[in-house]
A and B are shown apart, each in its own frame.
Chain A
């Protein structure tokens, strides 16, 4: 149903501002994607359509290693962040106003607004003082820390609108509180949990700052690889790998959005 205010349709001014906004946001990305299909070696000179850089990418072992590291870090950290995020969200929503609940909520959300550089630095200091060798696992832990709060926010939003009576009913019918959560609450908030995982995975995938601070030899993530290559000069192969990264991230964000939509239909 159309509301009366929609009936007139967009004015020229509306159209112009939307077009400008979209250009501002997406022109650089479109350019990058276009040039990834450039036949020329020169990044800024169009030499015709070609997929040769995607082929070159497949033969670049260092780049493939970085992709593999990034995927593993993403899978593990997103899973860990989701589990912890669900637990934190349950505590925040269900425990009511316990002593220090405000502080707890604030602490969970702090990384949302904390400068990433500070987070990265503090994680580095922690790992150094613990004597942990930097590498794959320190990056994974770092990403879990940062993405945990995003996962918590997503799950908390769903949990707070979840009818507590359903868990009461499950317990009344013979479930322990844990079983009631697993059999009734979790299946019903599953779309939000999946969305939280997608978000955490996407954030991990394109993180450069935290990874730079917490990584060590043999654990170079894709964004780190890209960044260091760009410093040596941009080549179309970078455009190609960036295009793929954009594709994966976009797919992740859209999937998370679709999963969140589904809960409204349910």
Chain B
């Protein structure tokens, strides 16, 4: 068994394929997830990431390949016999049960003693900071509270791996950003392996130890957030994760991230001359679109005070340092 970073792989996915009729949702995917790792499957909707997660949970059976959890082949094992827990995008809280009954549900099914269930429910409620909401019904919870109950319910039975399907998609922006950090801290504290499925690149970057970028049922690249952002393996990954300036370069492309571009009101050797076509102010940064020979280049500048150096219509010279460029084969 191969290891990475000294940790043993908890999940091995080997050449897994899943077809729905004519459509191949997952096409020969292989990857491994380490024990205690926060792993993200990132991709646009329809790229197969949710199908891959549902195969891990046991809701879908692979048409080819195999999934090993802790060295054990999961083939034929129904969801209720797998040591996985899933947190559903819709939260799927049982509407007829109270918060504490929801959290106790998995414990009772897995044969926990009645005397042990109560303390465990309290432990989970305090973990997600919902003490005192024991008797609320799901319909009486806010979106953020429901999300935390769903998390507590999935974590309560002590799964080997927690599967989170778009866990933050239903929250508003501010709460989402807070919750990203909270989830990250929670995962660190518990040491439970998390696999999160998301279409939101910020979410994946903030939370995950490693990201697998998916495209049309295949893995485009796997790596830590910084590596995937800074050294994307292909044009697809470069454009999916963040903004990208791409220049034709031999048979492939040369990538320069907007924040690594230099922009100046005066010419310098090697700089491309253009006009500022658009100025987008984001608060913490400003993004300029500079037209160079009919091509729109993105330049991002941190706002560190003072007036904005460029207005739309200004002439500008843009360039980049050689070490800022990444050459992509495809």
Q: Please tell me if A163 contacts chain B, counting CB pairs below 8 Å.
A: yes
Measured CA separation A172–B95 after assembly (Å): 17
Complex contacts, A187 vs chain B, CB 8 Å? 96
B86 touches A172 (CB 8 A): yes
Complex contacts, A266 vs chain B, CB 8 Å? 95-96, 139
Q: Which residue of B80, B110, B139, B153 contacts A171 across the interface (Cβ within 8 Å)?
A: B80
A174 touches B88 (CB 8 A): no
Q: Please tell me if B84 contacts chain A, counting CB pairs below 8 Å.
A: yes
Measured CA separation A173–B80 after assembly (Å): 6
Near A by CB (< 8 A), chain B positions 31-89 give: 57, 59, 78-80, 84-86, 88-89
A169 touches B94 (CB 8 A): yes
Near A by CB (< 8 A), chain B positions 135-156 give: 139, 153-154
Please list the 10 inter-chain residue pairs (A to B) with the smallest Cβ-Cβ separation, ordered nearest first: A174-B109, A173-B106, A169-B92, A165-B92, A171-B79, A187-B96, A172-B86, A174-B110, A174-B80, A165-B88
Measured CA separation A172–B84 after assembly (Å): 7
Q: Please tell me if A188 contacts chain B, counting CB pairs below 8 Å.
A: yes
- Decide: A168 near B95, CB < 8 A? Known: A173-B85, A174-B110: no
Q: Please tell me if B311 contacts chain A, counting CB pairs below 8 Å.
A: no
Q: Please tell me if B303 contacts chain A, counting CB pairs below 8 Å.
A: no
Measured CA separation A187–B97 after assembly (Å): 10
Q: Please tell me if A184 contacts chain B, counting CB pairs below 8 Å.
A: yes
- Between A and B, 22 residue pairs with Cβ closer than 8 Å are A165-B88, A166-B95, A169-B86, A169-B92, A169-B94, A171-B59, A171-B79, A171-B80, A172-B79, A172-B80, A173-B80, A173-B85, A173-B105, A173-B109, A174-B157, A175-B80, A176-B78, A179-B109, A184-B94, A184-B96, A188-B94, A266-B96
Name the residue among B106, B110, B154 with the largest chain A CB count within 10 angstroms: B106
Measured CA separation A184–B105 after assembly (Å): 10
Q: Please tell me if B90 contacts chain A, counting CB pairs below 8 Å.
A: yes
Interface residues as binary, A154-180 with B (CB distance below 8 Å gives 1, 0 otherwise): 000000000101101111111111010
Name the residue among A163, A165, A174, A187 with the largest chain B CB count within 10 angstroms: A174
B92 touches A175 (CB 8 A): no
Name the residue among B78, B80, B86, B153 with the largest chain A CB count within 10 angstroms: B80
How many residue pairs link A and B with beta carbons under 8 A? The number is 63
Complex contacts, B84 vs chain A, CB 8 Å? 172
Measured CA separation A107–B96 after assembly (Å): 33
- Shortest C-beta distance, B86 to chain A (Å), equals 5
- Shortest C-beta distance, A180 to chain B (Å), equals 8
B88 touches A169 (CB 8 A): yes
Kindly list 5 other residue pairs between chains A and B, CB separation below 8 angstroms, not including A176-B80, A187-B96. Answer: A172-B79, A172-B84, A173-B106, A173-B154, A184-B94
- Decide: A168 near B88, CB < 8 A? Known: A173-B109, A174-B106, A175-B80: yes
Interface residues as binary, B100-111 with A (CB distance below 8 Å gives 1, 0 otherwise): 000001100110
Q: Which residue of A165, A168, A170 contacts B105 across the interface (Cβ within 8 Å)?
A: A170
- Shortest C-beta distance, B229 to chain A (Å), equals 33
Complex contacts, B80 vs chain A, CB 8 Å? 171-176
Measured CA separation A173–B81 after assembly (Å): 9
Measured CA separation A166–B102 after assembly (Å): 11
Measured CA separation A173–B93 after assembly (Å): 12
Complex contacts, B88 vs chain A, CB 8 Å? 165, 168-169
Measured CA separation A166–B59 after assembly (Å): 13
- Decide: A175 near B109, CB < 8 A? Known: A165-B88, A168-B88: yes
- Shortest C-beta distance, B151 to chain A (Å), equals 13
Measured CA separation A174–B112 after assembly (Å): 12
- Shortest C-beta distance, A175 to chain B (Å), equals 6
B96 touches A168 (CB 8 A): no
Complex contacts, A174 vs chain B, CB 8 Å? 80, 106, 109-110, 157
Q: Which partner residue on chain A sits nearest B59 by CB separation?
A: A168
